[in-house]
Amino acid sequence: MELATLVYLPGSGWATPPDTRLDSPNTLVLVFGAADSLATLAEGSPLSTLARALPRSVFASAATHTIAHARQTADEALVVCIVRFDHTALRRFHVELGPVMTAESAGRQLAQALLDTPGLSGVLVLADGIEVNGPDLVRGLNAVLPDSLPIAGGMGAAGTRQARTWSMRHDGPPQGSACVIGLYGAQLRMARSCHGGSIGFGQRRLVTRAQGNTVEEIDGYPALQLYRQYLGRYASGLPEAASHFPLTVFRQATDLQGVIRYVLGIDTDRQTIDVAGDIPAGSLVQLSRAGRSELLEGAFHAARDLADALPVDGPVLALAVSCVGRRHVLGEQTEDELEPVATLLRPGSALAGFYSFGEISAGAGQRCDMHNMTLTLAALWEEPQEP
């Protein structure tokens, strides 16, 4: 397995050109970065250079305002991960959602397409973070794919309100799409970890009315009314303070671990709360605190869990998908959450990723889900071939 990462900065271009020797049908090219740069394959655009140098490779990309590369982050840039596998085959599928194609149906369709080829060992998922319902997409994937199959990825995000994900095509990038990359082969290994760091407090309360990503009532009261009561003195800082106080949803009363939902905004007239994901009626919800120290502690645990699964020697591709909400809270300390991940990687490894509108992975003892306010990590490598 051969690895390379490239960075494109507006005004200065590619730091190093793509290596044409890495091109093959078994080469995966993941591109994360500014939506404008991902929007065209026209001659002279950043992607035209990649497409020309790697014509046989499998491309997929996600729009983001902030990329991660090694120990650093950058805004309005591109980062490219190039992996040429020795013993792993690749297949990419994408669907465009619309009136007759829901996110859950799309997930089922994509999962079935992946299973049509034997030997599936891992799945990467990239989806439009605005027009695709991430939890429903993952629900569709889970309904068809085996429980033991590792799945990881994220929802494209440009800032906190704009998101697009592209599947590379020469006739332009489709919006409102979901893309999966299947990795096939007995030697492929994929390890994952997923931690938020938010601390829940107070009692769990019943969501009595919700539609889509809008929570309308909790325990029969207007959702925003109870949220303000939870926040106490911090309520005067809304809506900005909401990023520090996400909600944790427990879909079943018996769930020991919940899924974090980032608060996108509030509606003072309707007294509702909008979240990045879903908090369905009938679930339980708990207020959480997400300060800098809690988020960095979560990053440490994510790195530690990943380290336990990595090979003793040899390079890996480490993909980091973190939440735009974490970026907002961490501010100038954003790069600190990458430090424990970069430190654990062995020489020759690569670390890259993006800040997303939803992180797709599984926590300990859980099936894959779409999370908010988490740092999710996925490491890819190939085991040596048996003599």
Tell me if the bond preceding 239 is cis, omega within 30° of 0: yes
Judge residue 311's burial from the number of C-beta atoms within 10 Å of its C-beta, 0-12 exposed, 13-18 middle, 19 or more buried. middle
Distance (Å, whole) CA 382 – CA 189: 6
Distance (Å, whole) CA 332 – CA 336: 9
Residue 158 has a pLDDT of 60
Residue 47 has a pLDDT of 84
> pLDDT averaged over consecutive 10-residue blocks of the chain (387 residues)?
93 90 96 81 79 92 92 93 96 86 94 97 93 92 95 78 39 66 96 91 92 94 92 87 91 80 92 92 92 95 94 92 94 96 92 95 82 96 82
DSSP summary character for residue 137 = H
Judge residue 378's burial from the number of C-beta atoms within 10 Å of its C-beta, 0-12 exposed, 13-18 middle, 19 or more buried. buried
- The identity of residue 49, as a single letter, is T
- The identity of residue 64, as a single letter, is T
Where b means 16+ CB within 10 Å and e means fewer, 71-84 reads: eebbebbbbbbbbb
Residue 160 has a pLDDT of 36
Residue 214 has a pLDDT of 94
Return the structure tokens found at 295.
């988020």
- The identity of residue 250, as a single letter, is F
C-beta of residue 277 within 8 angstroms of C-beta of residue 259: yes
Residue 40 has a pLDDT of 66
Residue 41 has a pLDDT of 66
Return the structure tokens found at 351.
């670390």
Residue 96 has a pLDDT of 85
Q: What is the pTM of this model?
A: 0.91
C-beta of residue 18 within 8 angstroms of C-beta of residue 84: no
Return the structure tokens found at 198.
């938010």
- The identity of residue 126, as a single letter, is L
Residue 169 has a pLDDT of 44
